[in-house]
Amino acid sequence: MGVRANSRPGTRQPFTGMRRALAVGALSVLGAVTAFAAVSGPADAAASTLGAAAAQSGRYFGTAISASKLGDSQYTTIANREFNMITAENEMKIDATEPNRGQFNFTNGDRIYNWAVQNGKQVRGHTLAWHQQQPGWMQSLSGSSLRQAMIDHINGVMSHYKGKIAYWDVVNEAFDDSNGGRRDSNLQRTGNDWIEVAFRTARAADPAAKLCYNDYNIDNWSWAKTQGVYNMVRDFKSRGVPIDCVGLQSHFNSQSAYNSNYRTTISSFAALGVDVAITELDIQGGSAQTYANVTNDCLAVPRCVGITVWGVRDSDSWLGANTSPLLFDSSGNKKAAYTSVLNALNAAPPVSPSPSPSVSPSQSPSQSPSQSPSQSPSQSPSQSPSQSPSAEPGGCSATMRTVNSWPGGFQSEVTVTAGSAPVNGWTVNWTWPGGQSISSLWNGQQTVSGSNVTVRNAPYNGSISAGGSTTLGFTGNGSAATPSVTCTSP
């Protein structure tokens, strides 16, 4: 793929759609994903991989993965070692998943999903509604038939991955590059409400997934496009349109350069009550200092939940290897930028039990923090959750259920429920009955002592409204078990 100068407002070049025909088929999908940030290991030990280092502060570090490279052992070795959140670079997009109307194809999406889950990783879904990479049949639709096709597509893809995707990029790149308004597209021409319809459809299709708006050139707080997206998210939150997160793609180059107001952008979105994720990071030229700045800006905002780089090695980048945009060179060696990111992650202050409010710039309206809905995927009859005494007023209760299991491993979810009063900080505890161990945990901070496991809330999910709930998840080694779980809150 040739090098493309990335986007200055108004200059971004569209890609042509994927030409590859995908065989229809369905893989059995192993594992399930219900939440996000992996957490493992003590916070005071320097971690040696990006994922483990990010987990120390309750965050994830991810990469885009291409299904066509899963046979490249250097690629998979690095990806497996370093990253704990995976985005399919192209394989879950509209043209890949619904090449013919009503005929869904998850062959390559499932290859990536299964690789990720079998290696203990979470998955970001990318993307459901976008003006690019639409299959030909969709490009030719308009008006109400296109609107219906969008809804059907969201339902078709999200039902396939129901309960398995941590975050979905529901809508991608819907804003104009320069004027702060909506981009003209066939989707936009179906009516200005298409984005909120997409989000409402997505919430109904998979209540467990966090729903994100994702875009490029919304990194610089002073740009009109950033303000346009910010105003949309503020409007959605005020009207109850279900949006949980904003993805800052963060493709940085000389025309769309990192700016020191990036932290303000992150904290401003977070102050609206949404998670913020850096979803497609690459930096042309590969400046180690800029990579450190980006990492530190995310670490400074509690609701910045993780960073995803858009590819593993420079040679894997959509920008071409000669722009040196990623953290590993084309031979798989760690670059200076890698070391600066790792050091920044390792220098992050450990997570505290009570979330501190994110910085709210003067432009931000006063909003209550975290408004994420309590989300708990439906339980199948085969799963027997552990019992927990009902919560005292002001206290909390917790149950564990097995989400999935396979020979030698399993994935579980713990639901923490507040009693009749809000909870501000929680700790759950259980004892493994048969030598089980946790390989990766998200949405909490774990301490392990022999067979006893204690998990405190992550910085962003300590507050639970009265009667509300939140979940943490983990993958484990051994036979699936559902020991009883105790919950305490200060």
The answer to whether 90 contacts ligand G3I (rule: CB under 6 A) is: yes
**Residue (55 or 246) nearer to ligand G3I, CB:** 246
> Taking contact as CB under 6 A, which single stretch among the options 12-20, 49-57, 219-227, 385-393 is the one that binds ligand G3I?
12-20
Count of CB atoms situated within 10 Å of the CB of 142: 12
Task: Kindly state whether residue 269 participates in binding ligand G3I, applying the rule CB under 6 A.
Answer: no
**Minimum gap (Å) between residue 453 Cβ and ligand G3I:** 38
Distance CA 484, CA 14 (A): 53
Would you give the distance in Å from CA 460 to the centre of its chain?
14
- 280 catalytically annotated: yes
Please select the residue that binds ligand G3I; options are 19, 71, 331, 408, rule is CB under 6 A. Answer: 19
SS3 content of the chain, % helix, strand, coil (to 5): 25, 25, 50
Residue that is written with structure tokens 């690629």 in the block? 75
Find the shortest distance in angstroms from Cβ 232 to ligand G3I. 18
Q: Scanning the structure block, which residue is given the tokens 């759609």?
A: 17
**Out of 82, 89, 91, 280, which one is annotated catalytic?**
280
280 touches ligand G3I (CB under 6 A)? yes
Find the shortest distance in angstroms from Cβ 479 to ligand G3I: 39
Cβ contact 221:270 at 8 Å: no
Residue 313 CB, nearest approach to ligand G3I (Å): 14
Provide the 8-state DSSP code for 189.
G
Residues in the chain: 490
Distance of CA 328 to the CA centre of its chain: 22
The span of 10-18, 239-247, 361-369, 429-437 binding ligand G3I (CB under 6 A) equals 10-18
369-392 CB burial, b ≥16 within 10 A, e <16: bbebebbbbebeeebebbebeebe
**Residue 13 binds ligand G3I (CB under 6 A):** no
Of the two residues 39 and 281, which places its CB atom closer to ligand G3I in the complex?
281
Nearer to ligand G3I, 232 or 309 (CB): 309
The strand pair at 437-442 and 427-431 is best described as unpaired
- Tokens standing for residue 283: 């930096």
Q: Tell me if 132 contacts ligand G3I by CB under 6 A.
A: yes
Q: Pairing state of beta strands 245-248 and 210-215?
A: parallel
The verdict on 15 binding ligand G3I (CB under 6 A) reads yes
Q: What's the min distance (Å) between Cβ of 125 and ligand G3I?
A: 12
Closest CB to ligand G3I among residues 275, 280: 280
Find the shortest distance in angstroms from Cβ 455 to ligand G3I. Answer: 34
148 conformational bin, left if phi > 0, alpha if psi -120 to 50, beta if neither: alpha
Instruction: Report the C-alpha gap between 171 and 248 in whole angstroms.
Output: 13
String of contacts with ligand G3I for each residue 151-190, x by CB under 6 A: ---------------------x------------------
Asked if residues 115 and 184 have their Cβ atoms less than 8 Å apart, the reply is no
- Candidate residues 39, 57, 89, 369; the one interacting with ligand G3I per rule CB under 6 A: 89
- Only one of the segments 16-24, 106-114, 218-226, 357-365 lies at the binding site for ligand G3I (rule: CB under 6 A); that segment is 16-24
The span from the CA of 218 to the CA of 210, in Å, is: 20
One residue of 13, 16, 368, 378 binding ligand G3I per CB under 6 A: 16
Applying CB under 6 A, does 73 fall inside the site for ligand G3I?
no
Answer yes or no whether residue 252 interacts with ligand G3I by CB under 6 A: no
* 1 touches ligand G3I (CB under 6 A): yes
| Interface pattern 291-330 for ligand G3I (x via CB under 6 A) | ---------------------------x------------
Phi, psi of 198 (to 5 degrees): -60, -45
* Residue 313 DSSP class: B
Q: Residue 87 carries which side chain, given as an amino acid letter? A: T
Residue 10 in tokens: 């108004």
Q: Write each residue from 450 to 479 as x if it is in contact with ligand G3I (CB under 6 A), else as -, in one continuous string.
A: ------------------------------
Asked whether the beta carbons of 303 and 246 are under 8 A apart, the reply is: no
Query: Catalytic residue numbers?
Result: 280
Binding residues for ligand G3I, rule: CB under 6 A, are 1, 15-16, 18-20, 89-90, 132-133, 172, 216, 249, 280, 318
